[in-house]
Amino acid sequence: MTAETTPPTGRDPVIVTRDGAAATLTLNRPSRRNAIDDQGWRLLHAAIKDVADDDTIRVVIVTGAGRDFCAGADLGRQSRNEHPIARMRRIGGIAAALSELPKPVIAKVEGVAAGAGWNLALACDFVVASDSARFSQIFARRGLSIDFGGSWFLPRLAGFQQAKRLAMLAETIGAGEARELGLVTWVKPEDELAGFVAELAGRLAVLPPVALAQSKALLQQSATRTLREAIDDESRAQVVNLATEDAPAAFRAFLEKTEPPVYTGRWALR
Residue 117: name the closest of 164, 78, 169, 65 by CA: 65
pLDDT band at 9 (very low <50, low <70, confident <90, very high): low
Alpha helices in the chain (DSSP H): 38-53, 84-99, 116-122, 150-158, 160-169, 175-180, 190-205, 209-221, 227-242, 246-256
Q: Can you tell me the mean pLDDT for 111-118?
A: 98
Q: Are 201 and 256 in contact (CB under 8 A)?
A: no
Task: Considering only residues 10 and 85, tell me which one the structure prediction assigns the higher pLDDT.
Answer: 85
Q: What is the pTM of this model?
A: 0.93
DSSP state string for 4-68: SSPPPPTTSSEEEEEETTEEEEEE--GGGTT-B-HHHHHHHHHHHHHHHH-TT--EEEEEESTT-
pLDDT in tens, 123-152: 999 999 999 999 999 999 999 999 999 999
pLDDT band at 8 (very low <50, low <70, confident <90, very high): very low
Q: What pLDDT is recorded for position 189?
A: 98
Query: What are the backbone angles phi and psi of residue 241, rounded to the nearest 5°?
Result: -60, -40
pLDDT in tens, 61-97: 999 999 999 999 998 766 677 888 999 999 999 999 9
Alpha-carbon distance of 168 to 185, in angstroms, equals 23
The three-point CA angle 22-27-28 to 5° equals 120
Residue 185: name the closest of 135, 138, 122 by CA: 122
How far is residue 143 from each of residues 16, 120, 139, 166, 171, measured CA to CA in Å? Answer: 33, 20, 6, 15, 14
User: In sequence order, what are the residues at sequence separation of 6 or more whose Cβ sits closer than 8 angstroms to the Cβ of residue 83?
Assistant: none
Query: What are the backbone angles phi and psi of residue 223, rounded to the nearest 5°?
Result: -65, -20
